[in-house]
Amino acid sequence: MREIRALVTVGGRYVGEAEPFTVDSPWWNDVEPVTARLDELLGVTTSVLRLVGTTTPATRDGVVTYQVEADRVPVRGLSAGSTPQEFPDHPLRLPWARPGGPAALVAWARRHVDVTGPAVQVKTWNLSCLYRLPTADGTAWAKATPPFMADEAEVIGLVASVDPTLAPTLIAAEPGRVLLAEAPGVDCWRPGADVVARIVPRWVAVQAALAGPPRLRVRGVRVPDFGLPETLLHGDFHPGNWRSGGVVLDWGDAHWGHPALDAARLVGFVAPEFRPSIERAWIDAWLRHFPSSDPASALRHARPASHLVGALVYQEFLDNIEPSERVYHLGDPEAELERAQSLAV
């Protein structure tokens, strides 16, 4: 549970603080329940711009203060005598965290699909801003991402060149933005054998087909090849980014490297009871494409290496986001290095 403090602005000008309230969802970047309550409380349409402060060091719970943008000055729901606030700019502030940023993302999406109802801000933080839009052809998702992450449209194009059904359908794209069709199914935090069989071999087939010289950035963490080629990596290949219909989401961490790094991320993420079947599915899939390889040994070496990649990624986040949002990732590079050391071969 979170207690919400919303500092309301209109066109960048502070107009007051909303009466405090709580939401059941503990996660700071889950803003759909926040804006739903604010819209009801204030009688206006709101979007969350950015995190201003929290009372806990995690990414959940506590008292959370947001800078919020309203489409007009509310005539109700603001606390009497709230302290004036200023929001000085910061060079690392992302476009969707600035006044007008969320509205600009929605306006861009509306140029490409026939939106039939209110756009809903689902998530916002330093790694993305995500809106759900009802359209005449079903739900669409407008997503903005920062320049330090991979170009999702480019990565989706690479995946789709081999298996058009493994990545979301791309409706439109421009630098820092994608508009995606709904991926069928549900998220797969606890994947059954059927879901693993539906996704892991297909992803391995895509990686085998794309193997070769780098077409994206290389993180620089090496794994002994054991007969496997370097190829496209998802970068955050865990089942929370899978849909039960067989689509893999969230390609912004993609890079080029040893495929066992993706498998190590997956194996390290799931509960221990899921690991043997996932390892077997991944090993068998690679042996079908490269019969003389040794995927099991590659995976053993990739387990610590995947956490070195994680440390690099988290440090990149911290180096490229504004100070108030760094609380999302503080301590993560150090934690990843500790995990790498604990798994050292």
Same domain, 232 and 160: no
Same domain, 314 and 260: yes
Which stretches in the chain have pLDDT values below 50? none
**Burial class of 109 by CB neighbour count within 10 A (0 to 12, 13 to 18, 19+):** buried
Residue 9 lies in a domain: yes
Residue 88 lies in a domain: no
Last residue of a domain, one of 159, 181, 203: 181
pLDDT of residue 318: 98
pLDDT of residue 183: 96
Split into its structural domains, the chain has a count of 3
Q: Which residues does 153 contact at the CB level (< 8 Å), separation at least 6?
A: 170, 173, 178
pLDDT of residue 345: 73
Same domain, 198 and 174: no
pLDDT of residue 77: 95
pLDDT of residue 189: 86
pLDDT of residue 26: 97
Residue 216 lies in a domain: yes
* Euclidean distance between CA atoms 187 and 332, whole angstroms: 24
Stated as kind and residue range, the H or E segment containing 36 is helix 32-42
Q: Which residues does 221 contact at the CB level (< 8 Å), separation at least 6?
A: 257, 261, 305, 308, 309, 312
Q: Which residues does 256 contact at the CB level (< 8 Å), separation at least 6?
A: 214, 215, 216, 217, 218, 230, 231, 232, 233
Residue 188 lies in a domain: no
pLDDT of residue 152: 98
Ramachandran class of 16: left when φ > 0, alpha when ψ lies in -120 to 50, beta otherwise: left
CATH number at residue 99: 3.30.200.20
Same domain, 174 and 210: no
Last residue of a domain, one of 118, 151, 181: 181
pLDDT of residue 93: 98
User: Which residue range forms the structural domain that includes residue 271?
Assistant: 193-342
Residue 245 lies in a domain: yes
Same domain, 251 and 321: yes
Same domain, 139 and 238: no
CATH number at residue 276: 1.10.510
- CB of 226 closer than 8 Å to CB of 293: yes
pLDDT of residue 190: 84
Same domain, 136 and 248: no
Residue 247 lies in a domain: yes
Same domain, 284 and 161: no
> What residue type is 23 in one-letter code?
V
Alpha helices in 213-274 (DSSP H): 260-269
Residue 66 lies in a domain: yes
